[in-house]
Structure 1
Amino acid sequence: MEKALPHGSQSKVQAGVRRMLGALLAAVLGVMGLIALPGAATAATVGDITSVEFTNDEFAGGSRQEINVTWSVANNPTPPLSVSIDLPPELRGYTDRFPATAADGSVVGECTVTPTKITCTIDDEYVAANPLNISGSFRFLVDIRVYNTVTEEHTWEVGGVTTPPVTVTPNPGVCESDCEYKGTWGWKHGNYNNIDDVIDWTVGVRAEDPNGLVAGKNVTVTDFLDLSIFEVIGTPVVEEAGAVRVNPQTNREEPVWKQMPADLVTIAPDNLSVSFTSRAGVSGGELRPGDKELTGAFYVVKWKTKVLDEGEAGTYTNEAEWVIEGVDSHTHQGTVVRQSGSGTVVGTNHGKFAVTKQLVGNADLIDPPAFTLNWVAYASDDDTTGTPGSATIRAGETFTSPEFFKGTRVVLTEVTPTEPANVAWSAPKFVATDAQGNPLPGAQPTETLDITFARAAGNLARVSFFTLTNEATLVAAPIHAKKVVENPDGLDLSAIPSYTLNYSYPAGEHWAAGSGSVALPADGTVVATELLPIGAKVTFAEAEPAAIAGGHWHDPQFSATTVTVGSGEALDVSVTNTITRSVPPVSPPKSGIAHTGGSPLQPLGVATVALLIAAGATLAIRGARRAGAER
């Protein structure tokens, strides 16, 4: 039996134990703090959303639309770096996964879209290599959950940024009258999930009666899936609806779907066929508030399938059949198209090219022609025929190709234009560039673009950029002209060594209006104008020559006032200038001397009067002699 300590001694011992425990705890916490410090100093960086806008500024409620987002981060971000957006309820994300790309098109991370959120995560290596001014953008698809019957204007707050206003026209799915569920003729459709390359197929069984399929009918539904294309995941599921309910958003009656108990469904060993017996509708206490009971039920069967080609085909089609014992049977075809969240984002196993058209040369084309791009895509080395494709593109535009699956070789050429007639086109040249159009180091111009999409080439999950340059040289010709000077009076024209001939022409279909001038030497030397567009109608005019003392310039005479360049007519123009001596005016007599009309003339000079008197005396003497001889 242990001996008890005195009361005071026991208190001292307890106090000592507490001090020891406190010291030990402090030491442990200190060690833990040392261990935790590095982790605490490394905080993740979240990018800031700088803009959010829709690609279209007008669309219908209920439609699927594309949203464009730009983001940035402060300098020296700490990995991991992510950009995340919670979507408002009216914008439901289209499930997707695609690469995040840098400005040069290289893959630097990954974006994932769910119905309620989009998150892009940037690779740590990229963050470490680019500590300053990191920014980017991405695009993704959303379903517009607006159930409007009139046109409305909407904005949404997405990632803390308000979108520019958009016009939302009435949702075609909203019912305003006669909205009861009428039954179904049967159908098949599917939905492609980009995240895991899975298609969910749904087959609707025919039931034209608004009360559904009557109870007690044996039903078999078979999906004719090509197992070389699809792999069935799990087992098919049968859903039934023994009641309908008004959807408050669309105002339509819709089936209330529930999974049929598994013990009531027979599934074939290959999972491609199911059988069940139709049942009576839900009634009584099984109905929920707002449900309308049916005498029968509606049925759908769902399959989940993995796409074995990783989305290479892009479009997938197959058929399914339903058979209702003693009633009917029918086969329905369903088609699913693989969609991407963005026109500039590329799937993991795919690649794209983008070509930007550039025009160079001296041809000033008012309306440049559309250029035609042709390509052949070879799926593999064994594919010697290939699949052709084509597109048109104009100067300044960029064409982005569809996706090409890994291993595809694409050979791209351009059709060299032949119009307009006054332009000569050189062979087109492709040059590899970055996303801003800057040529890549070592890139050489080629007349044919030959690109193979492969991991080794580093062009999967990205866009490869190129410029396509066409040089347009104006087909032109000069006009030759010379000066002809007629100077019958021999006036001194040495002060005028040349004469200025002006010309102009209006705009044509493929050139701008123009004008110019040329100096024509006085000695008649032939000179040429600048090169003028073939087909231009050129009109001439001459600048008035410098004035010559005692001379008078007559109007210039042109051998042709208008010439069409390249029309086959002579392109030699002569301009004749004539100058003659000026004639001084005759002065009238002074007043006091009468003319034959009896009116006084202006006064005459003394010398003039003396000459007139002498002339009169001479005439008088000659008259007297003639008279004496006659006597």
Structure 2
Amino acid sequence: MHRRGEHRRRLHLTRAIIAAAVGLAGVAAAGPASAAPPYETEGSLDSIAFTETTVASGSEARLDATWSLPDNPATPAGFVLPLPSGLQGLTDAFPLLAPDGAEMGHCEVSATELVCDIDSGYIAAHPLNISGTFNFWVQVQTTVAQDSRVDYVFGDVSAAVTVQASDTPCTVDCDFPGRESEKTGVLDRATGEISWSVKIAAPVEGMAGGEEIVVSDAPGSNHALLPDRTTVWQAPGLIVYPNNVEGPGEWTENPDAEVSPDGGDVSFTAQEGHFYDVTFVTRVSDGGVQGTYTNDATITVDGVATTVAASVLRQGGGGTGIGDDVARFSITKAVTGPAADVDVPEFTGRYSVRTPDGDVLDGDFSVSADETWTSADFPEDSVVHLSETAPAALPGIDWTTAEFSVNDFVLRGGESTPVTLTNGSALALGTFVVSKRVVGDGAVLLPDDRDFTVNYTYPAGPGYPAGSGSIEVPADGTPSESPALPVGATVELSEETPQAVDGTVWGDAEFSASSVTIARAETPTVLLTNSLTATDPGTDPGTDPGTDPVTDPGTDPVTDPGTDPVTEGALAVTGGGSGLPTLLTAGLLLSAGIALLAVRALRRRAALA
């Protein structure tokens, strides 16, 4: 039979061994990678494709993919890629490397899914345009009766490949043609062990018998022999496999073979009609970093040496990732003083960003009290200068200070620099003035040092509470000024009842304005008028109203009323005969009254001056 049949048999056996190894690896690795952590931000798979256009059913295939995260992702962030039916992952773990070689993420492959975690620290430093690539290996388990195009769906994207039929019955050149010396290897990804199989050449009839055979193994770098795993296998003849391919079969371990203590050398004597394989096992010592592992073997049959070599590619995945090194800043608005209690319009200002390349990027910001404005992203190491536009004027409040907590600062990559802009404020203040005027015929009796109490009240207003107080206003008309009060306050005025003045009665108080509004540029002036009335306006307020101002009213103002006002014993005067004394008395009273009125008038003028 043709050698093609043996080649197919070997391919079939190799696939079977790999499938078994992968299955065990998947079982071993499914635990730690089966549950992805809960992600605040899920990445997206943007594309995926097979590196080969055609793969055989049961063989391994590599997939290349691209991924990305949205800008400013919340952490933890990552993505999970379930594998579709027909593909089984080859257990693996690999880093996602940034351009500088630093690990920015980590991926694990199990039999059923691929899980990638993106490093939170890297995200914080590179929050924008985060994306990358990865590749991993799967076993194609889809079976087809004939070569078929299969589309494997991974969520929103898919990968198509032509799957070749396998294990179909052999119909041409299926007989065993004999074999040449050969070495092959299979890597168990779960354990890191490589099983190397050395096939010893033999004709169709098998060995002649009696040949002295020595096989020495020489592993390459970064993997070493496991001494107790070296085994010599023997098959007594040929069999036909289920796919109708003929080849050596019914393999058993050769109990007579001698193995060196280090497991690197075996020796045995061949039996007639037998076929022989030797298995050496090595273990990878670098975690799979090297990728490709080599192994040579020297086969000596009756002193004739033949060298065979093989290499194993660790079909491991890998990946990359990158994000932009950018930075930003934020401005939080704080207001102190009375303006903090007032609905203030937005505050505005300007920023100027000078990039490391010397470009100047200017812009505006607008922020309300107790809120935060966040800038766009700028290159790291840019320098930022901030300024504020004068805030909108408020009716009864003055802006005092405006202060940035930091200014002319450098933006650090992956960070947002917080800035607080604080505006201080104070109430605008003003006063009012009250003057006193007293009118009425009792005013002359008011002591000059008498004060009057004027009370005031005002309700709460923008930035200030309700308030009240009093001022003392002198009787002599001197103006009295109030304490400083909030501008815009409407002040209601009232007077306490004045202190009583003997011989007088107070009338109602009258304000020229019963309320005033405190203003910035002017001082409201109020005149408070009080009337004071003498209790007996027909008498001299300076004497006892019950007596005559000159003499006892019971007597004649000149002589005893029982005598003649001229000469005693004169004839009585009838009619107007007694009018002269009366006229004299009236004249005296009139003169005294005029004098008193003049004094009162002088006092009143002094009070009003």
Measured against the shorter chain, the TM-score band is 0.3 to 0.5
Higher RCO, 1 vs 2 (CA within 8 Å, ≥6 residues apart): 2
TM-score by length of 2: 0.37
Greater gyration radius: 2
TM-score by length of 1: 0.36
